[in-house]
Amino acid sequence: MNRNDLKFDHSTAVQLLFYAIIMICLWHMELIFRPESLKNKWRHTILNSQFIITALLIQLPLSILVFRMSQWSLMHHWGLLYKIPFSTHFLLKVLTGLILLDFFEYIYHVSMHKIGCLWSFHLVHHIDIKLDVSTTVREHPLETFVRVSFMIIAVYIIGAPVLILLIRQFIQSFSNIAAHTSLHLPKKAEKILKYLFITPDLHKVHHHYKLPYTDCNYGDILSIWDRLFGTYKELDQSKIIFGLDTANVNHINTFISLLKYPFKNTLRKNE
C-alpha cells in the first residue's frame, strides 16, 4: 500500500466518524425536541440503517475510483478547473470546484427523478413516510452504484483535486443529514439561509407525497440551482405528508421488500 492509499484510508475513516457523530447527535436531538415513542423511533431507524451495509459495500470500492480519477486529472491537468483563468488562485479554485460539484449533484438528482429506470430505485428513499435523520441512509444499493459512478464522471469533467473532494464531502455530509432531520431551524434563520442553501424545511417539501412538490428542491447543498432552473418551491410545513401517493407502504415495510420493490414496480409498468 502506497502513501496515497494510506491518506485515502485515513480520510475515509475520518469522514465516516464525522458522519456517524452528526447522525447520532441529531438523532438524539430529534428524540428530545420531536417526542415520539422510543420503540417506534428505533424500529424506523433499524429499518433504514440496514442500507448502511449495502452502501458501504458498494461506495467504498467505487470511492477508490473517484480518488484515482482525481489523481489522474491532477497528473494530466485535465478538467474545467485547469481551464479557467483563475485556477492558480487557491481559494477561488476551491470555491469554484465546490460550486461545480454541487451543480453536478443537482443534475444527478434531477436525473434520478426524470429517468424512469433510475426513479425506480430512487423512490425507495421517497417512500419513507416518516422523515428523520435515518432517512438519509435509506438508499437502494443500485442507486448507490449510480450515484458514485456519476461522481466519477463529474470528477473527470471538473478535474476536482482530492482536497476539494474532501472539503465537499464534509460539507455535504452535514448538509445532507441536516436536510433530512425532523427538526426545524428557527424561523429567522430559515428565512435567511433558504436563499442560498437547501434547508431542512425546503427538503421536506421535496419529500411531500404528491407532484409537483416531489419534483422540486433538488439541490444538494445550494438552493440557487432550483431558483435558476425553476424547480424551487415552498409549502406550508403543516400541509406536508411524507411518502409517495403511488406506493402502498403496507407491502414494502421491510428491508428485503424495499430491495425488491424497484424490480416489481418496473415489471408492473411493463405489463
Task: Specify the pLDDT at position 265.
Answer: 62
Summarize pLDDT for 67-116 with one digit per residue, the tens.
999 999 989 889 998 887 765 678 888 999 999 999 999 999 999 999 98
Domain boundaries, the chain: 3-270
pTM for this model (two decimals): 0.90
Say if residue 206's pLDDT is above 60: yes
Query: DSSP 3-state assignment of 219?
Result: coil
Q: Which residue has the higher pLDDT, 17 or 271?
A: 17
Quick one: pLDDT band at residue 195, thresholds 50, 70, 90? Answer: very high
Do the beta carbons of residue 202 and residue 220 sit within 8 Å?
A: no
Say if residue 254's pLDDT is above 70: yes
Query: Stretch 176-186: mean pLDDT, rounded?
Result: 92
Task: Specify the pLDDT at position 148.
Answer: 96
Summarize pLDDT for 138-174 with one digit per residue, the tens.
999 999 999 999 999 999 999 999 999 999 999 999 9
